[in-house]
Amino acid sequence: MTTTTSIVIVDDEPGLRAMIQDYLTMQGFIVDEAESGASLDKLLSTKRPDLILLDVNMPGEDGLSIVRRLRGSSERMGVIMLTANSDETSKVTGLANGADDYLVKPFELRELLARVRSVLRRAPRVAGTARKARPTLPIGRHRLDIEGKRLIDPDGLEVEISTMEYELLETFARHPRQVLGRDRLCELAHGRPLGEGDRSVDIRIARLRKKLEIDPASPTILCTVRGEGYMFEPVSA
């Protein structure tokens, strides 16, 4: 069944782009290709995709630089990094720069499809919609808009967060003052177990602390419970 969901593949390998495009098109997605950051920028000037599949290692501007630019703009779209680097540092770096997920090459197309659908399910659909008042949950001095999937600061302005950061916050908001281990957090927030040696949850919490806490080094909202995990304190003094 066809949809209006738009995906852009950004990779300097024409064969890989064509293979992914053919496969995702057969799954009903609208798929465009870009061979570089400049090519992506040209495409983004005329349309807004729901998801970008972004290669890390490309000539010219690399994927990490591109995702930083995307997260620094007002556009909100899912980003899955495609990388030939299987080391944990590369994965953590991609997530730290705002990617929603990562996939190591070579990968099975069925796994790619599962990751695409997972990110799209979580991705907020707020472009072009009116921002009416909605019920929110307290996150320290901030508010979490569950319906709009947005984090709002004390001045009423939206704070830019990735889809997976939002998922963590929503999980904490639904489990206040409960100690949650890293594995349990990953299952509740992202619907999958935490891989061995995967520190992505810690990286996302560190990023969220910078956005939420008065002093990220001494958190009072997203608190560490030594040896057990994390606990969310809804109201910060």
Evaluated on CA atoms 132, 98, 155, 217, the torsion sign reads positive
Residue 90 lies in a domain: yes
Residue 47 lies in a domain: yes
The C-alpha atoms of residue 168 and residue 224 are separated, in whole angstroms, by: 14
- Calculate helix-pair angle for 182-190, 200-212, nearest 10 degrees: 80
User: pLDDT for 127-139, tens place per residue?
Assistant: 333 334 456 788 8
**pTM as predicted:** 0.55
Residue 232 gets which letter from DSSP? Answer: E
Structure-block tokens of residue 198? 């995967």
The C-alpha atoms of residue 73 and residue 183 are separated, in whole angstroms, by: 32
- Calculate helix-pair angle for 182-190, 163-174, nearest 10 degrees: 110
Which of 95, 122, 149 is where one domain is finished?
A: 122
Residue 1 lies in a domain: no
User: pLDDT for 142-183, tens place per residue?
Assistant: 888 877 788 888 877 888 888 889 899 999 988 889 999 999
Closest CA to 95 of 196, 200, 216: 200
CATH number at residue 226: 1.10.10.10
Q: Quick one: 118 and 140 in the same domain?
A: no
- Position with higher pLDDT, 197 vs 73: 197
Q: Quick one: 142 and 80 in the same domain?
A: no
**Number of folded domains that form the chain:** 2
Domain ranges, residue 67: 6-122
Closest CA to 150 of 142, 140, 158, 162: 158
